Amino acid sequence: MRILIISDIHANQEAFEACLAAAPSYERVFNLGDVVGYGANPNEVVNKSRELGGLLVRGNHDKACSGISDTNDFNMVAAIAAFWTQQNLTTENLEWVRQLPAGPIVQEDVPGVQCVHGSPLDEDEYIIVVRDAYEPLGQTTARVTFFGHTHIQGGFSVENESWSTLRPVFERENDAESYKITLSDGAKYLINPGSVGQPRDGDWRAAFAMYDSNEHSLTFHRVPYNLEAAQRKILEANLPDRLATRLSEGR
Ligand code: ZN
């Protein structure tokens, strides 16, 4: 089965549409959460996510924006955006966001794979460096765990107690690119498709991944999108300026 893996869309409609337009054919969508928060198009992005369906996991911003959790852990900019999002979501979409399930989530017809927002051990935990992966990857039996939350495309693996960090290698800055790896049958993986709507790995292009469960292969993708439109909408919505400027930096 070919599966489109998306995460951290963060209400960025332009980035989301660019990813969907660039994605090769797929039979299923795994959406790892933070559908909303930061960007100016929460309803458009929720509507599209609902239409795509598939597997969904809630993120910390989904919880904060729908009132499940408070924003005490958020910086001022994130808290302002969460409040704005809560005010601007339709009642129906707010309820949909509120009902997103906590990870890990598995699907019976895709064995050996689980989906989380942060970590399989804690939905709000960040797995940033390989050391952060020791405990969650050591404890899980899933061959592949898809996660988001850090907005950094790549991941970690362990095979015969040998740990590795995975990072796609790209050559361009402004064009669409992909990077394919074949996964080892004997290894366990934590894989982050990157953030659709607010990358933080120094690459402004929208990120997603494709997983082929038959080939056991993974392809990381980066695609340019209409950055100026996304930034203009953030400013027009009176969301904090920083949410617009950081998009061009990929930080
Ligand atoms: Zn996020």
CA of 156 to the centre of ligand 1 (A): 19
On whether the CB atoms of residues 103 and 123 are closer than 8 A, the answer is: yes
pTM of the model: 0.97
User: Among the listed ranges 23-37, 67-81, 144-158, 194-208, which one has the minimum average pLDDT value?
Assistant: 67-81
Residues with CB under 5 A from ligand 1 (ion): 8, 34
CA of 39 to the centre of ligand 1 (A): 11
Q: How many CB atoms lie within 10 A of CB 115?
A: 28
pLDDT at res. 157: 98
- At position 235, the amino acid (one-letter code) is L
pLDDT at res. 21: 98
Exposure letters 191-213 (e unless 16+ CB within 10 A, then b)? bbbbbbbbbbbebbbbbbbbbbb
CA distance 178 to 200: 18
pLDDT at res. 3: 98
CA of 93 to the centre of ligand 1 (A): 18
- SS3 label, residue 188: strand
Tell me the pLDDT tens digit for each residue of 79-123. 999 999 999 999 999 999 999 999 999 999 999 999 999 999 999
Transcribe 223-239 into DSSP letters.
E---HHHHHHHHHHTT-
Sheet holding 162-166, edge to edge: 105-106, 113-115, 144-146, 188-192, 154-159, 162-166
CA of 152 to the centre of ligand 1 (A): 10
Q: What is the mean pLDDT of residues 138-145?
A: 96
CA of 34 to the centre of ligand 1 (A): 5
pLDDT band at 155; cut points 50, 70, 90: very high
* β-bridge mates for residue 19, sequence order: none
Transcribe 111-149 into DSSP letters.
TTEEE-SS-SS-TT----SHHHHHHHHHH---SEEE--S
Average model confidence (pLDDT) across the chain: 97
User: Residue for token digits 């980035």?
Assistant: 15
CA distance 65 to 142: 30
